[in-house]
């Protein structure tokens, strides 16, 4: 895995390594008769060629929505550590033209809501598919709204691949949350084996379709593209890799929903985003923000990611 992580994070020297060719997201194997192919396969640098012209170094957003940054705290924190994190966030200076949300664990939402600056909105990490009732261990949309949540994260890969939620179930959850006035951060993304098999677009389109088939409107949805192989691994998609998929997502919305929705819907990137890589990612035309995991647990670093919006402000 360490070897894979190295190859995913950047290209190797041309003198020591020849990367496999890609067309779109589908691998071409010019050296399939090579006896060491199984070994080189494990070291493949996952890159691909964009059908668009090369991107300029600094670009404006392709979409029309406000830059959006969410912090997913996952199952982390104690009362003490969260008090410190909230204090750090309250003391940071955040650019004004960014929508910022954080998603604490359920048991700490009220603590965070009562002490965090109003500049940052509160999201939940999950919600039930319908009105509350006899559903042990679940949290209803009504309860989330009652304690001040404005958003909910749905479809995260940990819910899909660990808990076992399928596309249709996630779509229904999104539809119910939206019907009750809660914004949805709709997560999509492929597994490593799906990317290596050239199925990235297919997987993302299937997940998008499940949302599209269920939701009443896209007015309060943010799409988070999170390649599963990059979540919590320290392996981040290259800016070109992320941009390629974001372009495909926006095109899918244009072709299957409407051009207006494609323009208005924010498409954010998640997967080992941190203070060191956010600037280059933010420069990409179709990256409208970030969904941040581990780095959102560090107030100053999270502020750096929020403020990466400044790299959008100089037109290409």
For tokens 């076992």, what's the residue?
A: 164
Question: Closest Cα to residue 57, out of 225, 239, 237?
Answer: 239
Termini Cα distance of the chain? 38
- Select which of 121, 194, 226, 285 is catalytic: 226
Catalytic status, residue 246: no
Question: Tell me, what DSSP letter sits at residue 257?
Answer: T
Instruction: Write down how long the chain is.
Output: 316
Token representation of residue 226: 């999170």
Parallel, antiparallel, or unpaired for β 67-72 and 26-28? Answer: unpaired
Token representation of residue 13: 């020297």
For residue 308, count CB atoms less than 10 angstroms from its CB and return exposed for 0-12, middle for 13-18, buried for 19 or more. Answer: buried
Catalytic status, residue 156: yes
**In what helix (H) or strand (E) does residue 183 lie, and over which residues does it extend?**
strand 183-188
Angle at 235 between CA 232 and CA 239, to 5 degrees: 120
Distances (CA, A) of 134 to 105, 129, 130, 137, 283: 21, 13, 11, 9, 47
* Half-sphere exposure in the Cβ direction for 270 (13 Å, CA): 32
Alpha-carbon dihedral sign for residues 218, 208, 279, 234: positive
- DSSP letter for each residue of 78-121: -HHHHHHHHHHHHTS---SSEEEEEE--GGGHHHHHHHS-TTSE
Q: Which residues are tagged catalytic?
A: 156, 226
């Amino acid at each position: 895995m360490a070897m894979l992580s190295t190859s995913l994070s950047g290209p190797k020297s041309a003198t020591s390594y020849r990367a496999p060719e890609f067309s779109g997201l589908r691998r071409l194997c010019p050296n399939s008769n090579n006896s060491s192919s199984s070994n080189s396969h494990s070291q493949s640098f996952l890159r691909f060629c964009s059908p668009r012209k090369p991107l300029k170094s600094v670009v404006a957003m392709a979409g029309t929505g406000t830059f959006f940054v969410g912090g997913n705290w996952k199952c982390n924190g104690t009362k003490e550590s969260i008090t410190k994190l909230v204090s750090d966030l309250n003391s940071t200076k955040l650019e004004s033209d960014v929508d910022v949300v954080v998603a604490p664990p359920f048991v700490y939402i009220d603590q965070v809501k009562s002490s965090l600056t109003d500049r940052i909105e509160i999201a939940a990490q999950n919600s039930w598919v319908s009105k509350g009732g006899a559903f042990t261990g679940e949290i209803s949309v009504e309860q989330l709204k009652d304690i001040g949540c404005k958003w909910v994260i749905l479809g995260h890969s940990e819910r899909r691949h660990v808990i076992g939620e399928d596309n249709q179930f996630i779509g229904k959850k999104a539809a119910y949350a939206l019907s009750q006035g809660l914004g949805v951060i709709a997560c999509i993304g492929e597994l490593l084996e799906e990317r290596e098999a050239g199925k990235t677009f297919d997987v993302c389109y299937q997940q998008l379709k499940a949302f599209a088939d269920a939701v009443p409107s896209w007015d309060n949805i943010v799409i988070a593209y999170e390649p599963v192989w990059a979540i919590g691994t320290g392996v981040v998609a290259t800016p070109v890799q992320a941009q390629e998929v974001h372009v495909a997502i926006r095109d899918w919305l244009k072709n299957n929903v409407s051009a207006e929705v494609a323009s208005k819907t924010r498409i954010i990137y998640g997967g080992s985003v941190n203070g060191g890589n956010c600037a280059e990612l933010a420069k990409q035309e179709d990256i409208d923000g970030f969904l941040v995991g581990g780095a959102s647990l560090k107030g100053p670093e999270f502020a750096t990611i929020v403020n990466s919006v400044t790299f959008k402000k100089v037109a290409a």
